[in-house]
Structure 1
Amino acid sequence: MIELVPTADLPPAARTLVQAVFEDDFTDTDWDNSLGGTHALAFDGADLVGHASLVQRRLLHGGRVLRAGYVEAVAVRADHRRRGYASALMEALERLLPGYDIGALSAAEAVPLYEGRGWQQWRGPTFALTPEGIRRTEDEDGGVYVRPGSAPLDLDGDLTADWRAGDVW
């Protein structure tokens, strides 16, 4: 079962789950970046087994500011993987994407999941709008995926993310 909840109603077990799944590769800042939007929670009976969130961000592309539904903290307990939970979490969040100009996420893993759901790799260069100005984020090139919405996109063009603490993408 998938349940959608705002951050205000998020059970503390969600953070515990995400931290356990990502182990040492998930910081307090990463958690903060996943808050403030809608969370999809996957349950096996009463047990919380998966989490993903959708937060609003601003992306710059083609001379326009885009409202992006940005996917964060997709995590499924190891003993529940390959059972469709991640797909169900994504499906729940994707139903919310028509409220945004574009869907976006950064993926180091689970790329086949996202591509299989219609997410497209951003082929162009990536940037971040930092306090010092626009800065190139070469390390993120190839790892950003988008789900086109109402805004026209050139997947080979520049894409700039708004500034935030921690991982910009």
Structure 2
Amino acid sequence: MSNTSTMSTERTIRVVHTADLDDAVRTAARALLDEAFEGDFGDQDWEHALGGVHALLWEGSELVGHAALVQRRLLHGGRTLRAGYVEGVAVRADRRGRGHGAALMGELERVVRGAYDLGALSSSEEALEFYAARGWQRWQGRTAALTPTGVVRTEEDDGGVYVLPVTARLDPNGVLVCDWRDGDLW
């Protein structure tokens, strides 16, 4: 799967599955995320961003933005929901404030609306307003994770999880449970 849209003569976004990333692009994307998160983007965070689609923003031959969308299962209201989960959203520091993040998210939101029951993500404090302005809704209820030992509350994630409803009927004051994975659960 590959979708390319040209935003101007200089800015191009490619949407491509992890399987179609060559080594050079994988290396560039990981380096961009390491730099953008100032060393707070580990191997498990990178692992979470793999296996789905990547929106890659190029200025000429330079990768200046990245965002990924992977499938996860969320439990809510007695139902299992197919979620497009956003991971690894970053724009190079010297290119921020130019609409690049919005362009990347626009591509992922297009995929979410076409393929999933809802979108979901866990936001940093710095990005809360960005996602809210795009129509993502802060989850008002409790969060939890389905772990090998059962459902466990993830209170530290309350208030930082956002959803983009598509077809799922959601009670935003209910409990939202994510599937298990190593590292950060949300």
Shorter-chain TM range is over 0.9
- Which of the numbers 113, 122, 142 marks the counterpart of 1:106? 122
Q: Give 1:45 deviation, angstroms.
A: 1.5
TM-score by length of 1: 0.98
Partner of 2:76: 61
- Which of the numbers 13, 37, 41 marks the counterpart of 2:52? 37
1:112-150 per-residue CA deviation (whole Å, 9 max, x = no partner) reads 111111000000000000011100000000000000010
Please tell me the root mean square deviation across aligned C-alpha atoms, in Å.
Answer: 0.7
Partner of 1:120: 137
- Which of the numbers 100, 103, 111 marks the counterpart of 1:85? 100
- Which of the numbers 3, 11, 15 marks the counterpart of 2:30? 15
Partner of 1:95: 110
Runs of 5+ unmatched residues, structure 2: 1-11
The amino acid that maps onto 1:126 is T
TM-score by length of 2: 0.89
What SS does the corresponding residue of 1:2 show, helix, strand or coil?
strand
Partner of 1:139: 156
> Identity across aligned pairs (percent)?
62
Alignment of 1:147-158 (within 5 A): 147-158=164-175
- Which of the numbers 142, 146, 149 marks the counterpart of 1:129? 146
The amino acid that maps onto 2:14 is E
Structure of higher RCO (CA pairs closer than 8 Å, 6+ residues apart): 1
Q: How many residues align?
A: 169
The amino acid that maps onto 2:123 is A
Q: Give 1:111 deviation, angstroms.
A: 1.3
The amino acid that maps onto 1:164 is R
Instruction: Tell me how far apart the structure 1 counterparts of residues 116 and 34 of structure 2 sit (CA, whole Å).
Output: 28
